[in-house]
Structure 1
Amino acid sequence: MMKFDHLRKFCFLLLVVIISSGVFAQTNYYNVTKFGAKADSSTLNTKAIAKAIEAAAKKGGGTVYFPAGKYLTGPIHFKSNITIYLEAGAELHFSDNFDHYLPMVESRYEGVDVTSFSPLFYANRVTNIAIKGRGLVDGHGKKWWDFVEGYKADQPRSKWQYMFDSLNKNILLPDDPRQMTRGFLRPPFIQTMHCENVLIEGITIQNSPFWTVNPQFTNNITIHAVTVINPKRLAPNTDGVNPESCKNVTISDCYISVGDDCITIKSGKDLPGRTKATPCENITITNSTLMSGHGGVVIGSEMSGGVKNVVISNCVFDGTDRGIRIKTMRGRGGAVEDFRVSNIVMKNILYEAIVLNMEYGKSNPEPVSDRTPELKNIRISNITAYAKQAIRILGLDEMTVKNVSFNDLYLVSDLGVEIKNAEDIEFHNVIVNNKTGAAMKATGVNRITIDNFKNQQPVTGSSLISFDNVKNAFLYNNWPAAGSTNVLDVKGSSQNIFLNNNNFNLYPQPVSQPEALKDQVIIK
């Protein structure tokens, strides 16, 4: 027993020596206050923070630590292996002096490669970086918003616009170059360029000058338990999370309420995007609450490099203008493909719950080329939504929306389902309780399957389903409630419409069609 007591005392003394020698000390933590930063909300701490990052980088990396307090700063530039850690009660307030975001740096603005104001947090060609903690970062974006919203084409150009012009003489321009020629492009809040292994976790972000979290050409990104709040009507273009031309992205457990789209997946605009040809791919979005915003989860409209392999699940949208939205147009090019959505509840949706729109910008048909976008291989299931319109699918004359299925949806809306220029579309176990018009209206659709589709509160004076120039349709297992004018109204040059195993006992005349189409509608 005495030998054991001596051994225990020896181990205790050894532990004391180790701790006092600093072996267990947090030598990889760099407290910004030790480098001259002042948590007094008025001292500009940009240089002090840069010194802390540089000191950590010289040791191979580390955590730059902000204890509780309010810190004023200009842009923060990452080096490899750096974590910014904001303690609970720590607040980073970014200056609204535009000159503090000079010199201009390599960036991307709405899908166009430019040299412009430094983002507030900026990383270029670095690896293993993070922003973590329970603290707050505030972009103080109002001055940026006011400048852009109040700018008129006939007013004198600012020094920043002349600077932008001189640095961007030979850039590739989008089809509509006006946004570039105005030459005042607000910086994103957090932008990584050509980086690897990025983590943003726990923090609250507010008042972004422009897009909030905007990784570009970056691989392996995790955005977890982040809160993003930008004023709904006062903060233009302040999207929440916008991965662009990135690979392997996980967005989870976030709360987002912003002045534009909540989460948007992008890959460049028009010729600049097609030239880089870098898709956004392998994206997972889950367990998040998305409040005010132009869209809950949006693809595009800058998607010229393509977007593929996207999974969205287990989210609540409350108060977004639209729910799931894919938007593109002629000139973009690129393909959105292999896209799955499941287990979403939407309420207070101002416009469409689900919209797949290739006519985001109006233009005339043109031959299929690299300017032609594609939407294909989309699966949407287990959705409950309350919206102005249930579903809207708009393809192009020269390029249809292809291979889309809807399974187990409950949709309450003023307007029902609208489909135009599409093929290989399927509905299984879908309820659309709309107030006006047909529950489904399909125009210019080839190969559509409708299985157990219903409106529980039929609209008097309207058909349940309306077909115009629809070819190769199969309707089965439908048992429509009484109250509509008929089950199916067929017109135009529709052909090969098959109805099988339906219960039409409440409709003696379930189908309405002109005499010329009687041979094209087959009921069994």
Structure 2
Amino acid sequence: MAIYDITSYGAQGDGLQDNTAAIAAAIEACSAGGGGTVYVPAGDYVTGPIVLRSHITLQLEAGSMLRFTPRFDAYAPVQTRWSGYEMWGYSPLIYGNGLKQVAIKGEGVIEGQGQAWWDAYRVIRAGGTAPASEHLPKLVELNRVLTDTVKSNIVEWQTQFLRPPLLQLMHCEEVVLEGITLQNSPFWNTHLVYCDDVSLRGVKFKNPSTTPNGDGLDVDSCSNVRISDCHFDVGDDCLCLKSGIDADGRRVGRPTENVAVTNCTMLHGHGGVVLGSETAGGIRNVTISNCIFIGTDRGIRIKTNRARGGGVENVRISNIYMEDVLCPLAINAFYKHGIDESNPLLTSPEAVPVTEGTPVIRHIQISDVTAKNARAAAGFIYGLPEMPIEDVALRHVTFEMTLDPAEEGGEPDMVREERIMAGDGILCRHVQGLELHHVRVETRQGPALLLEDSREIEIDGLRMKKRHADTPVITMKNTDEVEVSGFREEKGQAPYLAKADPAAAK
């Protein structure tokens, strides 16, 4: 295939010249020639938005950098999916829509220069005004039908200062990202939407730990996705699977499915691998294996709520090591961010009627996972009273909580009421069909397992090496159909199992 060097079209890697037109000319020439490679040699290339074409590989040589201008008005509105909604937003810095056979490869760096966008967001969040931009009035009008009908506590909803992702590909097939580094994104780092047949290998996603909404990779209503040997060090969720939000996501009705994640490392951020909270189209058939999470708030995280709909099912998680996380495993159907706070049904602790907005979480298998020095809770599985989380199994899992008495812990996940935990065990509420086989939990305080309002529980070999003399290993409240085996009572210790109601166990 032909090679199109951007310097042959006038690009200069001096860190000063605006190379937007030169890069666009190279891409158009490559497309007109039937496809090939657009080559970026070593150098610092300042540019505005880049629009990709089909049958093109954007190849970044070692020592090359695409440095995007922080001028907001360089990014004219395009149709996008923003935080789960189909709407208009500032153009992604690199954008492709409706493409086939598109790739970005090499050892170069894609630099988003997100600081100006982050600063503007923080001003808005603090109650200030949105920055001056010729595109803001356009976005307000283009999205008015949506914003007038959908209520949200998202900060940007009223101002429509919708920060763009660094890279977004929509409706694309046969996508390859390989070897590159993507860093300092205005919003999410890399966002794949409605794509099929996607491979990511050896990609580095980097954002400062303080980046607002600084996700690493968001896979949104995509199918047949392979993610391997990637490194994440970001300010929000490292890797997140999504499928649209609430009624708009259910209207589209496109799931994220058939996703394999392996051999990745995750540092910092709100979650290592996250599914949701945008679950409207469904997330299913996911494997996560051979990964390391260090210092993430949550390790494996599934989140949704009563407005989202859809759900998460058929997830297999294996051979994971975690360290210094807030909560190794969080599965939460009461996630409170982005909800309509004027609707009390969304946060009611009582069962409400099942509707199309009721999410379903089921068939989650977790094995060979170790977490050390966790801070808040060993696990947090929190379903809805009208739709319990179903069929969750943990096998050969070890969760060790920090013993530091000064550790204050935090929220294992963001539920309807603030629930602070510190050095605690696994809390399960509104769960139907929970299995624990050869699981070890070491807490700083409290039992290894707390069961509330749950049923169909099977426990074999749950243990604590360092029991607290006055604390059971398992406590239960309003829980029935429980089978417990593979344990022994010890002299001088509290009973292995404590029941708050007589029908709790047999």
> TM-score under structure 2 normalisation?
0.90
**Aligned pair 1:237/2:210, yes or no?**
no
Match of 1:476 in 2: 485
**Aligned pair 1:29/2:29, yes or no?**
no
Distance in 1, matches of 2:491 and 2:355, equals 48
**Deviation of residue 304 (structure 1)?**
1.1
Q: Pick closer, same or farther for the CA change 1:222–1:484 going to 2, 3 Å.
A: farther
Query: Secondary structure of the residue that 1:375 maps to in structure 2?
Result: strand
Aligned counterpart for 2:194 among listed residues 217, 222, 237: 217
State the one-letter code of the partner of 2:93. Answer: L
**Aligned pair 1:328/2:314, yes or no?**
no
Distance in 2, matches of 1:105 and 1:341, equals 37
Query: Secondary structure of the residue that 2:443 maps to in structure 1?
Result: strand
Distance in 2, matches of 1:461 and 1:279, equals 48
**Number of equivalenced pairs:** 468
Match of 1:165 in 2: 140
Distance in 2, matches of 1:161 and 1:32, equals 32
Aligned counterpart for 2:347 among listed residues 359, 363, 370: 363
1:132-281 equivalences under 5 Å are: 132-151=105-124, 153=127, 155=129, 158=132, 159-171=134-146, 174-176=150-152, 179-233=156-210, 235-281=211-257
**Deviation of residue 157 (structure 1)?**
7.0
Match of 1:39 in 2: 13
**Deviation of residue 153 (structure 1)?**
4.9
Question: Does structure 2 conserve the Cα–Cα contact (< 8 Å) formed by 1:220 and 1:249?
Answer: yes
1:458-473 equivalences under 5 Å are: 458-473=467-482
Distance in 1, matches of 2:56 and 2:150, equals 35
Query: Secondary structure of the residue that 1:52 maps to in structure 2?
Result: helix
Distance in 1, matches of 2:198 and 2:389, equals 30
Match of 2:291 in 1: 315
Match of 2:96 in 1: 123
**Deviation of residue 63 (structure 1)?**
0.4
Match of 1:522 in 2: none
**Aligned pair 1:491/2:500, yes or no?**
yes
Query: Secondary structure of the residue that 2:380 maps to in structure 1?
Result: strand
Query: Secondary structure of the residue that 2:44 maps to in structure 1?
Result: strand
**Deviation of residue 484 (structure 1)?**
3.5
Match of 2:279 in 1: 303
Aligned counterpart for 1:403 among listed residues 391, 401, 413: 391
Distance in 2, matches of 1:268 and 1:370, equals 14
Distance in 1, matches of 2:202 and 2:9, equals 30
Distance in 2, matches of 1:163 and 1:126, equals 26
**Aligned pair 1:438/2:447, yes or no?**
yes
**Deviation of residue 118 (structure 1)?**
0.7
Query: Secondary structure of the residue that 1:412 maps to in structure 2?
Result: strand
Distance in 1, matches of 2:105 and 2:229, equals 14
**Aligned pair 1:348/2:334, yes or no?**
no
Question: Does structure 2 conserve the Cα–Cα contact (< 8 Å) formed by 1:465 and 1:487?
Answer: yes
**Aligned pair 1:75/2:49, yes or no?**
yes
State the one-letter code of the partner of 2:217. Answer: V
Percent identical pairs in the alignment equals: 40
Distance in 2, matches of 1:436 and 1:326, equals 25
Give CA-to-partner distance per residue, 1:405-436, whole Å, 9 cap, x none: 00001110121111100111000000001121
Distance in 2, matches of 1:138 and 1:63, equals 20
**Deviation of residue 168 (structure 1)?**
1.6
Match of 1:375 in 2: 361
Match of 1:515 in 2: none
**Aligned pair 1:415/2:424, yes or no?**
yes
Match of 2:341 in 1: none
Distance in 1, matches of 2:199 and 2:490, equals 47
Q: Pick closer, same or farther for the CA change 1:47–1:468 going to 2, 3 Å.
A: same
Question: Does structure 2 conserve the Cα–Cα contact (< 8 Å) formed by 1:469 and 1:493?
Answer: no
> TM-score under structure 1 normalisation?
0.87
**Deviation of residue 366 (structure 1)?**
2.2
Unaligned residue ranges in structure 2 (runs of 5+): 337-345, 402-422
Distance in 2, matches of 1:481 and 1:352, equals 29
Match of 1:385 in 2: 371
Question: Does structure 1 conserve the Cα–Cα contact (< 8 Å) formed by 2:120 and 2:130?
Answer: no
**Deviation of residue 245 (structure 1)?**
0.5
Match of 2:63 in 1: 89
Query: Secondary structure of the residue that 2:118 maps to in structure 1?
Result: helix
Distance in 1, matches of 2:485 and 2:130, equals 66
**Deviation of residue 336 (structure 1)?**
0.3
Unaligned residue ranges in structure 1 (runs of 5+): 1-26, 499-524
